Structure 1
Amino acid sequence: MPLLFILTLFFKFAISTDFGDLVKTTVRGNEAVLYNCSSSEDLQISNCYLDLFRKYNLNVTSLPGSETDPFQVIRYDATNMCKNYKALKTCANNDGCFNYNTFRALLNSEIDAEYYVSQTGFLEFYCFHGSDFILYYECMQTIELDDLSETIFTECSELEVGTCDSVSKTTQCERAVVRKSCISLKAINAYCQYQKILTSMTGWNQCEYMPCVNFSSKSTSFFMIFLIIYVYFLHRETII
């Protein structure tokens, strides 16, 4: 079946669907390695986001925080979401400013900065990597159908505390679940494409070793294996 036909069917299905559950959360960025935009560039980014929100009848004069989930109405709009996101990028005219440091400066909040990175990263993945997004979506559906896999995948993110080592371990952990549950190499590549976008926006792609980003010969660590075994037996005890 041609890819274009599959994409068309999927995006028709996606109308009026909120993909919020597919938005990967992020931790605070690796601020020291990220590009710091000028005050005028920050202001331009802010105005571009305000223009985006106003297209959805959000009457805001400053960037709203994560507690109101202003991106929800955008995620529901599969018809115009990508057109509006591309307009946002054209307005900003500087992809380098779409990073954690920019949002931290604009919002003065780590939590809100993490939220904007997660939501913007999702739009980038959805709009510019459509075939990978579908594979990722199908893989996440498969994982959700298996209680153990879902539990382990959820526990993986608990490792992430905003250091090279923790982000690396989380990525190893999640990728291992994707490999086991979804089998397909394409699904692993789709997960990695999403992770590359997020680690680029947070600066963790600059770490010496980051799965999906650089191709080290390191195998899954004993820590990772321990975690999976630990969660497995914890899950069994809960059932019993």
Structure 2
Amino acid sequence: MVVMIVLLIFIKPHLTFSFDSGGLVKPTVKGNPAVLHNCTDDQDSIMQQCYLDLFSAYGMNFTSLPGGSEDPFSKIRYDNVNINFANLMECHSDVIDNCLNFNTFYVILKTDDDADYYISQTAFLKFYCDYGRDFINYYECMQRIEDDVLANTIYTECTVLEVGSCGSVSLSTQCESAVVRKTCSDSTVHSYCQYQKILMGMTGWNHCDYMPCINNSFKSHYLLFLMLLISMCL
């Protein structure tokens, strides 16, 4: 499986996955209202059209962005999306750079769940396309966590801590990082953080004063979670 992914990323850009990679997509919490901004109506329309063009490349012809319950990214997750994702990022790049955030999708789609879906899926594609080696490390680690009942339970419970504040997002990230480090390695924490940085950049949590993966606060709190994990394994 790992060899297949390596070939997909580095050798055969038009091959497709034989599995749905949706299980690797990290959900995200509602955007940080303290820092995220709303874009203009024209910019929102441009953003929507860029995504409609992306879906059209996969034979999905929508007149407006479908909700997350329809899972329009399902076809894209089977594909090596580097080229089409690059086209999305270059589609009115000024709008993409300034408006690809939780607020924009909330304005377009009207619900937190749908905005969460689009941000989560877009962040996953960016991680896969722009950070190939880290994606492989992350994929391998998630497989190991999934196969370890205790680690998987703790990792899943980490998201319960995330309720939409700097403190809760920080705690959740510390918790997940501790599981990744204990189950996999220090280098895999770096890969996890690359993914988390993308998500935080799109949701505004990267602006918090103390945030693991963004600044050094992770080290000061890591031992607490490591001790908790070790005690649960005894």
Q: Does TM-score exceed 0.5, indicating one fold?
A: yes
2:197 is the counterpart of 1:196:
yes
- In the TM superposition, residue 38 of structure 1 has moved relative to its aligned partner by 1.7
Does structure 1 retain, via aligned residues, the 8 Å contact 2:51–2:88? yes
What are the superposed Cα offsets for residues 140-163 of structure 1, whole Å, 9 maximum, x if unpaired? Answer: 111111110011000101111111
How many Å apart are 1:221 and its aligned residue?
Answer: 6.9
TM-score by length of 2: 0.89
User: What's the counterpart of residue 55 of structure 2?
Assistant: 53
Against the structure 1 CA distance between its residues 9 and 203, is the aligned structure 2 distance closer, same or farther, given a 3 Å change threshold? closer
Q: How is 1:1-240 mapped onto 2 (pairs within 5 angstroms)?
A: 7-8=6-7, 15-78=17-80, 81-94=81-94, 95-183=97-185, 185-216=186-217, 218-220=220-222, 222=224, 224=225, 228=229, 232=232
Please give the alpha-carbon distance, in whole angstroms, between the structure 2 residues aligned to 1:192 and 1:50. 30
Unaligned runs of 5+ residues in structure 2 are none
Shift of 1:97: 1.2
Q: Distance in 1 between matches of 2:129 and 2:194?
A: 13
CA distance in structure 2 between the partners assigned to 1:14 and 1:181 by the alignment: 29
Distance verdict in 2 for CA 1:170–1:71, change over 3 Å: same
- How many residues are matched? 226
Hey, what's the Cα distance between the residues in 2 that align with 1:63 and 1:226? 45
- Using the TM superposition, give the Cα deviation of residue 15 of structure 1 relative to its aligned residue in structure 2, in angstroms: 2.3
Sequence identity percentage: 54
CA distance in 1, matches of 2:215, 2:32: 17
Alignment deviations for residues 207-230 of structure 1 (CA, whole Å, 9 cap, x no partner): 1100001123522375x4686479
Q: Matches of 2:62 and 2:5 in 1, distance apart?
A: 37
**Contact 1:31/1:100 (<8 A) preserved:** no
| Deviation readout 1:10-55 (Å, 9 max, x if unpaired) | 6768623211000000110002201322221111100000111111
SS at match of 1:209: coil
Q: CA deviation at 1:77?
A: 1.2
Whole-Å separation in 1 of the counterparts to 2:4 and 2:18 = 20
RMSD: 2.4
1:192-219 residue CA offsets vs partner (Å, 9 max, x unmatched):
0000000110001111100001123522
